[in-house]
Chains A and B, each alone.
Chain A
Amino acid sequence: MSASAETAGILQGTPVVPGLAFGPVVTIVAGIPEEAVTAFRDRFSGTARDALQLFDGAVAAVAASLADRAAKASGDAAEVLLATAELARDKGLRAAVAKRMDGEVDLPDALHGAVNQFADLFAKMGGLMAERVTDLRDIEQRLLARIVGVAEPGLELPDVPSILVASDLAPADTAGLDPARVVALVIELGGPTSHTAIIARQLSLPCVVGVTGATTVAPGTPVLVNGITGAIEVNPDTAGAVARVDAERIRHAALASWNGPAATSDGQRIKVLANVADGASARQAAAAPVEGVGLFRTELCFLNTTTEPTVAEQTAIYGEVLSAFGPDRHVVVRTLDAGSDKPIAYATPAAEENPALGVRGLRLSFTDPSMLERQIEAIAAAAAVTGTRPWVMAPMVATVAEAATFAGRVRRYGLTAGVMVETPSAALLADRILTVVDFLSIGTNDLTQYTMAADRMATQLAHLTDPWQPAVLQLIAITARAGQRAGKPVGVCGEAAADPALAAVLLGLGITSLSMAAAAVRPVGAQLGQVTARQCSRAAEVALAAGDPAEARDAARAALSRLTE
């Protein structure tokens, strides 16, 4: 089984069921031998009534064998088999077959014509209907097999775990699949709502559809199927493919079962939180295994209007988010972060030479704090209505005085006050800022941009706007240590928290919470559970000592060697 250069390659399709699988290609036994059909035509000399009787017998046999298999299957598979049996028994199909035997009696022809009549119509209707054509073709093949007296077509089960490749699969083919012997499905045609996809999902079989050229791969050829990216690697390196499949299986098992709360394998806790923007995203995130919200961005309710929303309007929007998490999970609300790349007409200055370094975030309240006051009032009102105790933090803070003034405003309403650490100044002054606030939250995106003096939108500067930059890690470390000395929480929100390896480094630096997109929660949580606190500390040390982001990543990953990616 040696991979030769000319046959190796990658085919691409649409992934429908995630997972990795490696094995030789098997194909479906398709069609009925032409000789069997010819032999039937030669020996059959009955009337239209005889032929229809033969047809009814075939229908009964096919429906019975499908029902028999449905009884042995379960769930969706059983339902698909029963639906196919119903379709075989359909009165409309029988009527169409009967109608085609007026003159000459050729049952195979009449069956083919009747099926074509419906198949053409469904294909023309497109969409979901077009996907039913496969079912019809399958029924035709099964009925024809019974009529001419040969075995129904289908899959010949392989002896070794194999990858089933076909131009399309009929529901009856997929319904009887044994996941121990067929480990993935690769389909040249078919869409994401096809029966193949439904069954593959139920069996958790990695599945890729719409793979052009799939059926040109010879049976027996080893392929690696990636149900996450949709890539089919033909003739890959065997050892490498097996290793990747094993690693993915371990990762998947950990992911599926991870249900929070987050902790290292030796019990070091860290809060995993979600970033949300409104009621809808909050309700979605509340279903994930998170302990709350580390960053509620309030910009959305201001961006969609031409004038500032009233206190009552703001209260309603904040209340939606707070009630999604209830009194037992905490929510950190960030006050309006307008300006720079998020201008708001009625709030931000019109023309600035350099908006990223201009009047943005908390700075909007310097000349007129009334808008900030109204927002805090609305947050407090929403907290009272929902019976929750949100924390409130300000963006774009650079001095201790700014933090103190903001904390004073928030505490007047009885709320917990914090500030974001996005400027190198705030990180360097973390010790002193923590004497006036209750918590800190590091915004790694802006902290990286301001530390490296590199615009995060500038693609040529992507190597600089990398949170693994040693200077950025150093500022995070300073902030985390300040939090430990003060005994106050220091969280991280931003892209960095969603990178599983970096999340481990952050834990090692002493960060107490990680806030990220809800979709990133399980990968981060599961992978933190596979390393020890000591490994995280070691990873933090080597990342801090590294010369550049690439070296930092490699060194951290080596220290976390059990962290599989």
Chain B
Amino acid sequence: MGLLELFGRQDIKGLTRLPTGSFTVDASGRILSSTLPQIFPRNFVEDIAAAVLASFKEGQKAGLPLSDLVINYASLKITARELRGGAIIFLAPLSIKRT
């Protein structure tokens, strides 16, 4: 029993639940506010912010200025709106729809 308990607990600890919520970030990538659960790793939030800001910035340089971005994953939707160099970013996990 002790052995099973050991393996089981380790697996559960490694899972990260995809959160629902939003956060704002300034042009330098600093997180200004967030409604995301604290359990969601801070570095994930920063990575999302960095990727979104880079996309807006590089798009502008390439002659493709964007005001909104929607990134679809199999189980998560990220929606970002550009705010004067920064952004507001919404995260919404996707679940299997029951018909």
A binds B: no
Residues of B within 8 A of A (CB): none
Interface residues of A (CB under 8 A from B): none
